[in-house]
């Protein structure tokens, strides 16, 4: 980096291709030795085929190494800021057209699997002569422009700050200050009092789980009928009565096994849907997908009914939610399974899996004493 120029690069490196070139060259050399050595003919044929495969793969990786990917950079120079995307200039802004640059620290802890490293967003407060129609921007409610496709790491910010303060007004925002270190959300405490599933201060609700009450009644009644049929079959000497009792016993046993199999299938990791209620927010997990939201970002929740299925809707507290969570835009559809369905009215979002009766009951019980999120009446589709 020169003193008058700073480049923040997100261009993929080519070192990995070079490593693969060396690896394939080594394997090719080994197979070549096997081909020219005094091995059996079958071994030499296989070694020759593998040698050809390794040469082909090595040639591809060498070509990738010699042809670097297009530049993906954010460049700061004496003239202003430039965004290079796909090797071309996506947008540029001159310093005289920028009123202020804001480094906004993003929300953390949306995922327990995410690293604790901070990430910043670059937000530009445009001046009078700034062209806001360029690609790569997300409009904030107050008129600022967010460079949404570049996350700045702490080391990037350390390099960038001394450069920015010489040329433009700079501000740093910490969005995590809106989160209380020790929130007074009683969700976990209430869940323990209601004997719900609480593990390490996390309330876990099986969204697509069967109704536990009805399942318990079915198991109890089935067991009683099976015991009765078994007693009748053992105590009766008549052939027809005994056969009838045994038929009832085996049919009911088969039905019970089918029901248990179907219910157990909802616990399979590829089908199981879990809603985790934590002191700071909730996490909605399905196989391969994840949604996490803070409680302080939500004003209200409700049940939404569409085509006979009941979903959990939540209402963000401000327009900034759509800016901070662009990946959740698909949750604004009224029917999560129909990509062409209309958006929910009033700015509501809908979690993309229907809740069973048991899951709705557990969610309402765990949120019974919550004062930070308002429960509103159920909304049914027309």
The mean pLDDT value for 179-183 works out to: 46
pLDDT the model gives residue 188: 60
Q: Give mean pLDDT, residues 29-40.
A: 86
CATH classification number, 73-176, choose in 1.10.357, 3.10.20, 2.30.29, 2.60.40: 2.30.29
| φ/ψ bin of 98: left (φ > 0), alpha (ψ from -120 to 50), beta (otherwise) | beta
Give the pLDDT confidence of 283-304 residue by residue, as tens digits: 888 877 778 787 777 888 888 8
CATH number for the domain whose boundaries are 187-208+270-380 = 2.30.29.30
Which tens digits make up the pLDDT trace of 102-144?
887 765 544 444 445 567 888 888 877 666 555 456 666 556 6
Q: What is the mean pLDDT of residues 164-183?
A: 67
Instruction: Tell me the average pLDDT across 57-70.
Output: 87
pLDDT at 310: 86
- For the segment 7-21, what is each residue's pLDDT rounded down to a tens digit? 888 888 888 888 999
- 231-288 pLDDT tens trace: 887 777 767 877 888 888 888 888 888 888 877 777 777 778 888 877 777 888 887 7
Quickly tell me which residue has 């082909």 as its tokens. 56
Q: Mean of the per-residue pLDDT values for the chain?
A: 78
More confident residue, 140 or 334: 334
If one compares 180 and 322, the residue with the highest pLDDT of the two is: 322
pTM for this structure? 0.51
């Amino acid at each position: 980096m020169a003193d008058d120029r700073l480049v923040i690069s997100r261009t993929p490196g080519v070192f990995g291709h070079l490593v693969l070139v060396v690896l394939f060259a080594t394997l090719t050399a080994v197979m070549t030795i096997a081909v020219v050595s005094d091995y059996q003919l079958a071994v030499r044929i296989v070694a020759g085929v593998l040698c050809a495969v390794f040469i082909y793969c090595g040639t591809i990786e060498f070509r990738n190494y010699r042809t670097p990917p297009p530049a993906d950079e954010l460049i700061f120079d004496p003239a202003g800021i430039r965004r290079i995307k796909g090797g071309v200039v996506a947008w540029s802004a001159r310093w005289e057209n920028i009123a202020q640059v804001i480094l906004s620290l993003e929300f953390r802890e949306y995922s327990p699997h995410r690293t604790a490293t901070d990430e910043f967003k670059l937000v530009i407060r445009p001046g009078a002569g700034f062209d806001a129609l360029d690609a790569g921007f997300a409009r904030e409610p107050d008129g600022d422009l967010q460079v949404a496709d570049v996350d700045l790491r702490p080391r990037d910010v350390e390099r960038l700050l001394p450069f920015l303060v010489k040329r433009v007004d700079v501000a740093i925002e910490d969005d995590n200050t809106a989160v209380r270190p020790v929130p007074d959300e009683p969700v976990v405490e209430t869940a323990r009092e209601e004997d719900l599933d609480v593990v390490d201060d996390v309330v876990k609700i099986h969204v697509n789980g069967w109704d536990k009450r009805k399942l318990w009644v079915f198991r109890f009644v089935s067991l009683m009928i099976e015991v009765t049929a078994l007693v009748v079959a053992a105590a009766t000497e008549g052939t027809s009565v005994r056969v009838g009792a045994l038929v009832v016993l085996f049919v009911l046993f088969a039905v019970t096994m089918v029901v248990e199999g179907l219910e157990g299938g909802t616990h399979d990791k590829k089908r199981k849907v879990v809603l985790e209620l934590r002191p700071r927010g909730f996490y909605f997990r399905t196989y391969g997908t994840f949604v996490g939201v803070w409680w302080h970002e939500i004003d209200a929740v409700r049940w939404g009914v569409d085509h006979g299925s009941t979903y959990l809707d939540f209402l963000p507290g401000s327009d900034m939610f759509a800016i901070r969570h662009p990946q959740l835009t698909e949750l604004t559809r009224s029917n999560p399974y129909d990509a062409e369905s209309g958006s929910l009215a009033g700015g509501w979002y809908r979690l993309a899996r229907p809740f069973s009766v048991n899951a709705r009951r557990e969610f309402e019980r765990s949120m019974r004493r919550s004062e930070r999120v308002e429960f509103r009446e159920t909304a049914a589709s027309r």
